[in-house]
Chain A
Amino acid sequence: MGDSEIHKDRMAAKYGIWFFLFTEILFFGGMFLLYSIFRYRNAGAFHIAAAQEDLLLGSINTAVLLTSSFFIASAISAVKRGNNRLAILLQGLTVLLGAVFLVIKYFEWMEKIVRGIYPNSPVLLKLSSGEVLFFGLYYVMTGIHGLHVFIGITVISFMIYFTATGNITRKDYAKLENTGLYWHFVDIVWIYLFPLFYLIT
């Protein structure tokens, strides 16, 4: 006793996760704000710089993340139907696709770093300041987003464990539901990042 169990309240957990996502929106909002100001001031340079992004890999990653969102949503409805085995499989697929996303991101970053394009690099600093800002924003925003993907993968892995040990059940699945909301949020952020960095050429 004295522990949180006595206060278990699914509604409170809902409030909690929505408030948290709300603060996340503001956190990313700071970055989007900077993006819009810098792009407004350097529209031309942003278009030139965006041409260096790999549209194919970016599109694949968009598809990967969208599919993973579908899997986690299906995992939740599987738990609701009491099918924990299917739910484990679907969460596993979500984790797998999250990892695929990060691997693709890694290759995209590496390709640029090999060409000498990374913050503060001599190659980058020779470019116009608009392009310096574009790639600065690119690394910061996709980097922080990637960190969120990584955190999501970790959390979902815990959820798989909970689903397997019977901690998440048909009657009590708030944890998984809230994790799903977080994962959708991470997905939605990417939906905004993708056009801002890949489609503005």
Chain B
Amino acid sequence: MEDNASREPYYVNRGKYRGILSWLMSTDHKRIGIQYLIALLTFFWIGVLLGLLIRLSLIMPGKILSQGTYNQVFSVHGIIMIFLFIIPGIPVAFGNFFLPIMIGARDVAFPRLNRFAWWLYLTGAALVALSLFVSGGAPDTGWTFYAPYSIRTQANITMAVSGVFVLGFSSILTGLNFVTTIHRLRAPGMTWFRLPMFVWTVYATGWVQMLATPVLAITLVFIILGRVFGVGFFDPSKGGDPILYEHLFWTYSHPAVYIMVLPAMGVISEVIPVFARKTIFGYKAVAFSAVGIASVGYFVWGHHMFTSGMSDTARIIFSFITFLVAVPSGIKIFNWVATLYKGSIVLDSPLIFALSFIFLFSIGGLTGLIIGALAPNLHLHGTYFIVGHFHYVMFGGAGFAILAALHYWFPKMTGKMYNERPAKIGWLILFVGFNLLYFSMFVLGYEGMPRRYFDYPPEYYTGHLISTIGSWILATGLIIIFTNLIRSAFKGQEAPMNPWGGRGLEWTIPSPPPEENFEEIPVIDKAPYRMDG
């Protein structure tokens, strides 16, 4: 291959396909990552609009949405946000783009499998989208598809669930691909303990994807078979057991929380050393805590079912392990703060998003302990407290990490710089709106407001009103942030190779990177995040 020709940015058309096909048919990990990112953010915005609609309906119940439509809207909001946005999330977009570069490889281990997984994602998304419009109507079960209702409802569950099944398959293949890539394609000298932290978390996430997703897949198959052929594994009238569904579902869906949050933690571990101008504190502790979270997180699913009917012994064990899994998360937060300590902190927008991640995720994590303890759980289960908690973990955690990653890697991915001021203003508005929106949910839930309810007694009105006003503020912040990014992608100044002074391999190649990333595969001779040379 002639090298001068291959040094053009990755998005310059050179293959045999033109236009959109040159993207869809591409096996370049960067092109695939960009496509995922665009798809994810599109679904994110659809989810945001549905969320705003839910909030609007809640301050004037019955005026905007009917009861049935309300059930469909919150279900579709959940399904889109969970399965189409936050679970694929960071690994498929930023993992695809940066994982090979960060380990000094030209691509992932199986580029064509990678493209296939992307097509599967599109197929799954299309099935989910189609289920909204065909006969039967959009799913109204919530994103959890609890049996036996999901087997009996008229809504078009079969197609939505098939879509989620396909998305799961895509997720498994991505995890498998990344784990193999990290095992096989590290550059010479890139030992395990020289891997950037983001790579460690994508590695741990890949294992969770492989270990947990097949359980979801078979569970969804049972739902489909129940609806299509009347196989009644979860149907009490046929000897089945709906509690079994909950067990199987949460065996996947709790680890899925780590599929969302682990790579987010990886992003934070990348951003903080660069903007504190210090090497990361406790490298091994941070790396092993990612693996620790991934392995312990597999055995806590029962905390979603404390009120579903379980023996006391089982509940005490599940509650205890839930507390255990908080330890590695605590280690990470401690190490991030220790990294910041006495650093020369540069308060640019990636760091601001990373710091808000630490703050919001801590609130999400600590409230998780409140509901992970048995006694408060009985009081708070099924209330807005839960809704507040998981929005702090998912949006405050994974969502803010995606925003941090977007701002941190934007110059590398697009070759353009964004404006710092609108990013910071947008962040401030988003942050205020976020806390109004979701903190009021803790109060509402503590006072007993049940989640998923369409209407409520007047005592709860003030809480709901504050929350809804928060949702408008939050949306304003998001609009500013994304307008800034989209504008800058087209009109921004040229980005230098290393705008932040980062030490990772991604900052040693041009912005945007050329096809195949490296002219010559680099040889690594030192630990990551070393700021001294």
Contact = CB atoms under 8 A, between A and B. Distances in A.
Interface string B213-256: 11101110110010001111100001111001000100000000
Contacts of A119: 225, 229-232
A172 to B, nearest CB: 16
B506 interface: no
Given A22-B210, A132-B239, A2 B215 contact: no
Interface stretch (A9-17, A80-88, A158-166): A9-17
Given A6-B106, A19-B180, A120 B215 contact: no
B140 interface: no
A139 B172 CA distance: 26
A16 B109 contact: yes
Interface string A18-61: 01101110111111011001100010000000000000000000
Interface string B390-424: 00000000000000000000000000000000000
A34 B244 contact: yes
A133 B240 contact: yes
B142 interface: no
A26 B214 contact: yes
Nearest to B241: A37
Interface residues of B, number: 45
A63 interface: no
Contact of B230 (A1, A2, A42, A120): A120
Interface in B244-294: 244, 248
Main secondary structure, interface of B, reads: helix
A199 to B, nearest CB: 22
A92 interface: no
B27 interface: yes
Contact of B233 (A11, A120, A133): A133
Nearest to B212: A26
Contacts of B214: 23-24, 26-27, 29-30
Contacts of A144: 221
Contacts of A31: 218
Given A7-B111, A31-B218, A119-B229, A23 B106 contact: no
Interface string B462-476: 000000000000000
A12 B110 contact: yes
B15 A2 contact: yes
Interface in A83-131: 118-120, 125, 128-130
Nearest to B236: A129
Closest 9 CB pairs of A and B: A120-B230, A129-B239, A30-B218, A26-B214, A27-B214, A12-B184, A15-B180, A119-B231, A19-B176
Interface of A: 1-4, 6-7, 9, 11-12, 15-16, 19-20, 22-24, 26-31, 33-34, 37-38, 42, 118-120, 125, 128-130, 132-133, 136-137, 139-140, 144
